Amino acid sequence: MRSGTSPLPSRRPRAPRRAAAVLITLLLSLTALAPAAQAAPEPAPDAAPAAAAPVKLGYFTNWAGYGRNHHLKDLITSGTAAKLTHINYAFGNVTGGRCAIGDAYADHDRAYTAEQSVDGRADTWDQPLRGNFNQLRKLKERYPHLKVLWSFGGWTWSGGFTEAAADPEGFARSCRDLVEDPRWADVFDGIDLDWEYPNACGLRCDSSGPQAFATMMRAMRGAFGNDLVTAAITADASDGGKLDATDYGAAAQYTDWYNVMTYDFFGAWDADGPTAPHSPLTSYEGIPAAGFNADAAVRKLTEQGIPAEKLLLGIGFYGRGWAGVTSGEPGSAATGPAPATYESGIEDYKVLKTACPVTGIVAGTAYAHCGDQWWSYDTPDTIAGKMAYAKERGLGGAFFWETSGDTADGELIAAIDRGLQ
């Protein structure tokens, strides 16, 4: 048969008229029933696509197993692992313009006892991988939904990013080679960069220029392909502040999301005060610095063209506090940082909830006045409000610093989980 022609009709005898009538009646009946059998109508062209599952990410630190005696197994007993979608393992070092191991003993050498181990089995002297990396592997086997990123930098190790910015492709290759080392390649699903701060000052100052960060993230995306590539970024939305110093909008196309560090706005590094909540959701009358709040950061980042779903709201599982305070309201003078377990001026939520209970709420977060001390921290109730904000603004989810600060039964991660449902 030639293309475009129809076959000739078959030379078959006609059906009897009665049979033809029956056939016509049957066809009409089927036609009448047809609408009920049809597939459901297509959604309207302007119907919104189904929302992606929110990210619920927690940092786990490689030093937690020392003085804090906090291990990955604790994420199981507290219920945290079942509620998280992602873990950022902190930190790898950035030195000499390259990614490097942060703590070899904690990362891949420490032998875990059966009591400390995720699966209840002790490490042996001759197994090829031990330490936190092996515990992360076991955790992922038990919770296959979990994704793990290796986070590099942080406050202490961000000085190396300046040298890395001079050779972003070489830096990215070094990170990929380390993250994908055959000994632990199955442990990690991507990389997170915590540069504090590009083209601005943290512990050290950087002057690589406003496009250095975007160039670095482009190199990271090229090296890591379809693996996760994320970054923790400043929330300083003041005029001429850290968010204005770097083109985070240009870099966003290369990242899966940003962890916006919407905490540590205020603290006892200003020893004489005034007291102020370290993680305000919004501004308030008397706030010590304009633009130092989560809402201002989110608005500035979205105004720079970054999709809201690429922003995660940051929650601190700790409080910051002053001593020498006479007033219970925010804005009081002080004489220095409040005493604490590990470092003056900063304390875990699990300690503060009973040691210095909440006495008030300001700008969406809690504060507490006990004796001559003043602390601010988030609680399950204030986290509920912040998660409602994240959903209202269409954010991609939330993250927190860090797992050891929560209670043994995971009060704070449970609040994040409920709030993002």
Is residue 95 domain-resident? Answer: yes
Is residue 131 domain-resident? Answer: yes
- Give DSSP secondary structure letters for 187-230: T-SEEEEE-S-TTSBSSSB--S-TTHHHHHHHHHHHHHTTSEEE
CB-based contact 291:239 (threshold 8 Å): yes
The answer for residues whose C-beta is within 8 angstroms of residue 94's C-beta and 6 or more apart is 100, 152, 153, 157, 158, 159, 160, 161, 164, 171
pLDDT band at 6 (very low <50, low <70, confident <90, very high): very low
The answer for residues whose C-beta is within 8 angstroms of residue 234's C-beta and 6 or more apart is 196, 197, 200, 241, 242, 243, 261, 297
pLDDT tens for residues 198-224? 999 999 999 999 999 999 999 999 999
pLDDT reading at 10 higher than 80: no
Residue type, position 44, single letter: A
pLDDT at residue 142, as a whole number: 98
pLDDT reading at 346 higher than 70: yes
What does residue 343 show for φ and ψ, rounded to 5 degrees?
-150, 130
Q: How far does Cα 102 stand from its chain's mean position?
A: 20
pLDDT at residue 106, as a whole number: 98
pLDDT at residue 248, as a whole number: 98
- Cα separations in angstroms, 193 against 100, 137, 157: 13, 21, 11
Is residue 23 domain-resident? Answer: no
Is residue 42 domain-resident? Answer: no
Distance CA 368, CA 376 (A): 6
Distance CA 190, CA 206 (A): 25
CB-based contact 160:152 (threshold 8 Å): no
**278, two tokens:** 């370290």
CB-based contact 233:292 (threshold 8 Å): no
pLDDT at residue 52, as a whole number: 74
Q: Average pLDDT of 175-180?
A: 98
The reply to whether 343 belongs to the active site is no
pLDDT band at 5 (very low <50, low <70, confident <90, very high): very low
Distance CA 283, CA 289 (A): 9
pLDDT tens for residues 291-328? 999 999 999 999 999 999 999 999 999 999 999 998 99
pLDDT tens for residues 372-393? 999 999 999 999 999 999 999 9
pLDDT reading at 192 higher than 90: yes
CB-based contact 129:67 (threshold 8 Å): no
Structure pTM? 0.87
**182, two tokens:** 């055959």
CB-based contact 302:381 (threshold 8 Å): no
- DSSP classification of residue 309: G
Is residue 354 domain-resident? Answer: no
Which is the catalytic residue, given 42, 163, 169, 196? 196
Mean pLDDT (the chain, rounded): 90
Distance CA 355, CA 368 (A): 10
Least confident range of 6-20, 255-269, 333-347, 391-405:
6-20
pLDDT at residue 76, as a whole number: 98
Domain of 307, CATH number, reads 3.20.20.80
Is residue 361 domain-resident? Answer: no
Domain of 89, in residue numbers: 55-316+378-419
pLDDT tens for residues 127-161? 999 999 999 999 999 999 999 999 999 999 999 99
pLDDT reading at 166 higher than 60: yes
Is residue 26 domain-resident? Answer: no
pLDDT tens for residues 94-139? 999 999 999 999 999 999 999 999 999 999 999 999 999 999 999 9
pLDDT reading at 9 higher than 80: no
Q: How many CB atoms lie within 10 A of CB 124?
A: 8
Half-sphere exposure (Cβ direction) of 81: Cα atoms closer than 13 Å: 21
- Cα separations in angstroms, 350 against 81, 164, 240: 18, 38, 36
Strand pairing of 228-233 and 365-370? unpaired
pLDDT at residue 34, as a whole number: 38
Is residue 227 domain-resident? Answer: yes
The total of structural domains in the chain comes to 1
